[in-house]
Amino acid sequence: MKNILSLQLPVEKGDYDKLPADFYKTQTSQTDEIGFWRSSWRRLRENKIAMVSLVIILAIIVFAVLGPILSPYSYDQQVHGDENLWPCLKHPFGTDRLGRDLMVRCMTGTRISLLVGVVSAIIVMIIGSIYGAISGLLGGKADTIMMRIVDIIYSVPEILLIVVIKLVIDQPLTNLVDNVPFFHPLQKLGSGLIAIFIVYGCLYWVGMARIVRGQVLQLKEMEYVTASDALGAPNGWLIRQHLLPNCMGQIIATMMMQIPSAIFTEAFLSFLGIGVSAPMASLGSLTSEALSGINRAPYRMLFPAVLISLIILAFNLFGDGLRDALDPKMKKR
């Protein structure tokens, strides 16, 4: 007996076993993926504030990446006789009390700050989306327990815990990096920076996990997901093909918002004296170092402060625009 409705699938009852193993692929793979990205890009391009922010971000990246290569000085080079200079032709941003050129220090500082932002966003994305996806897919008791853990971490004031964890892991981490040959390649990064990554990785992923889980729960109910599940698609394929691409918009938007907040927090840690370790400098540590000599040498504060505020501002505005562009249904702020 052939039902008219079953014409849509070239199968009859009992035929499922005879199907090719990758049948689910031909039937339910996503085809409008390009359309989504293209239309998002169009929406983003129309947002003037976001585009200006993007240009600023790109300019700052160029400044940070190419600057130190072109500069005649290195970030820890002490030019004797050039101590405490105000901005001049030779040193456009001036020098500090050890005779180090502030422009090149700002450039490498921008590198470090951007690195802090981007790497923590990636860490948060990986941990958060995997955790959230697993929790949402498993459902039931496992989901409840996993989300309770998230709730607890979420309601703990993170800035306090960041300070405490950072204080504690600094010393052991330095020993580890310096003494264990396996970790020697990390020496260049400095233990302060690695500690910051670890701390962010411990705490900041919960927001991302919640968002991804919510999205997964919603998608699980969609007919096309049920359809490919019924056609025998393995879980891994479901995640790669349906869940991840559909969560991507929210994941990217959340990641973009994580970047400025990570840079902001690093600046705060630098103010407390527990940011990246010297002689390395981030924009946060440059500004907080300048704090003590603010009356005599305000120029030392000026450039890194303007840079860090500009970076955070540009990422905030761009993130806002990106979220609106990627998720026009939920235009909320």
| Interface residue list for another protein (CB under 8 A) | 148, 151-152, 154-157, 159-161, 163-165, 167-168, 171-172, 260, 264, 267-268, 271-274, 284, 287-288, 290-291, 294-295, 298, 301, 305, 308-310, 312-313, 316-317, 332-333
- Smallest distance from another protein to CB 117, Å: 13
- Smallest distance from another protein to CB 41, Å: 23
Please, which residue, 23 or 205, has the CB nearer to another protein? 205
Please, which residue, 159 or 230, has the CB nearer to another protein? 159
Please, which residue, 126 or 313, has the CB nearer to another protein? 313
Q: How far apart are CA 207 and CA 166, in angstroms?
A: 21
Please, which residue, 9 or 167, has the CB nearer to another protein? 167
**Buried residues in 258-295 as b, exposed as e (16+ CB within 10 A):** bbbbbbbbbbbbbeeebbbbeebbbbbbbbbbbeeeee
What are the φ and ψ backbone dihedral angles of 86, each rounded to 5 degrees? -75, 165
Q: How far apart are CA 194 and CA 172, in angstroms?
A: 12
> Is the CA virtual torsion 16, 19, 21, 27 positive or negative?
negative
- Smallest distance from another protein to CB 295, Å: 6
Please, which residue, 228 or 288, has the CB nearer to another protein? 288
- Smallest distance from another protein to CB 159, Å: 5
Q: Decide if 121 contacts 253 (C-beta within 8 A).
A: no
Q: How far apart are CA 58 and CA 52, in angstroms?
A: 10
**Which H helix or E strand runs over 111?**
helix 102-138
**Which H helix or E strand runs over 33?**
helix 33-46
- Smallest distance from another protein to CB 305, Å: 4
